[in-house]
Structure 1
Amino acid sequence: MTKDSTTIDVGEPSNVTKSRSHVVVDAKKKKGFVAAAAGGGYKRGLAIFDFLLRLAAIGITIAASSLMFTAEETLPFFTQFLQFQAGYDDDPTFQFFVIATAIVAGYLLLSLPFSIVSIVRPQAVAPRLILLISDTVVVTLNTAAAAAAAAIVYLAHNGNANTNWLPICQQFGDFCQAVSTAVVAASIAVSFFILLIVISAISLKSH
Structure 2
Amino acid sequence: MSTTVDVPESSNVEKGRPVAADAAARPGGSNKALAIIDFILRLGAIAAALGAAATMGTAEQTLPFFTQFFQFEASYDSFPTFEFFLISMSLVGGYLVLSLPFSVVTIIRPHAVGARLLLLILDAVFLTLAASSASASAGIVYLAHNGDQDTNWIAVCNQFGDFCMATSSAVVSAFVAVTALLLMVVMSGVALRNH
SS for the counterpart of 2:157 is coil
Give the residue type in structure 1 aligned to 2:115. P
| Equivalent position of 1:53 in the other structure | 41
Take 1:58 and 1:21, find their aligned partners in 2: how far apart are those partners? 49
Q: Provide closer, same or farther for how the CA distance between residues 175 and 24 of structure 1 changes in structure 2, counting only shifts above 3 A.
A: closer
Residue 88 (structure 2) pairs with residue 79 (structure 1)? no
Give the residue type in structure 2 aligned to 1:94. F
For 1:178, which of 151, 166, 179 is the aligned residue? 166
Report the alpha carbon displacement of residue 25 of structure 1 after superposing the two structures with TM: 3.9
Per-residue CA shift, 1:2-53, capped at 9, x if unaligned? xxxxxxxxxxxxxx8x9446764487583476136x5222211111110010
For 1:30, which of 3, 16, 19 is the aligned residue? 19
SS for the counterpart of 2:61 is strand
> What stretches of structure 1 move > 2 A for 4+ residues in a row?
18-33
TM-score (structure 2 length as normaliser): 0.90
CA contact (8 A) 2:64 2:70 kept: no
Across the two proteins, how many residue pairs are aligned to each other? Answer: 190
Report the alpha carbon displacement of residue 162 of structure 1 after superposing the two structures with TM: 1.4
TM-score (structure 1 length as normaliser): 0.85
The structure where strand makes up a greater share of residues is: 2
* Larger RCO (CA within 8 A; separation ≥ 6): 2
Report the alpha carbon displacement of residue 88 of structure 1 after superposing the two structures with TM: 0.4
SS for the counterpart of 1:162 is coil
Take 2:183 and 2:113, find their aligned partners in 1: how far apart are those partners? 18
Q: Provide closer, same or farther for how the CA distance between residues 59 and 19 of structure 1 changes in structure 2, counting only shifts above 3 A.
A: closer
| Equivalent position of 1:67 in the other structure | 55
Percent sequence identity over matched residues? 52
Q: Provide closer, same or farther for how the CA distance between residues 98 and 20 of structure 1 changes in structure 2, counting only shifts above 3 A.
A: closer
Per-residue CA shift, 1:168-205, capped at 9, x if unaligned? 00000000000000001101111111110111011111
Per-residue CA shift, 1:62-107, capped at 9, x if unaligned? 1100110100001145422200110000010000000000000001
Q: Report the structure number with the largest CA radius of gyration.
A: 1
SS for the counterpart of 2:150 is helix
Structure 1 runs not aligned, ≥5 long: 1-15
Structure 2 runs not aligned, ≥5 long: 1-5
Stretch deviating more after TM superposition (102-111 or 20-29): 20-29
CA contact (8 A) 2:27 2:194 kept: no
RMSD: 2.1
Residue 131 (structure 2) pairs with residue 106 (structure 1)? no
Take 2:123 and 2:52, find their aligned partners in 1: how far apart are those partners? 18
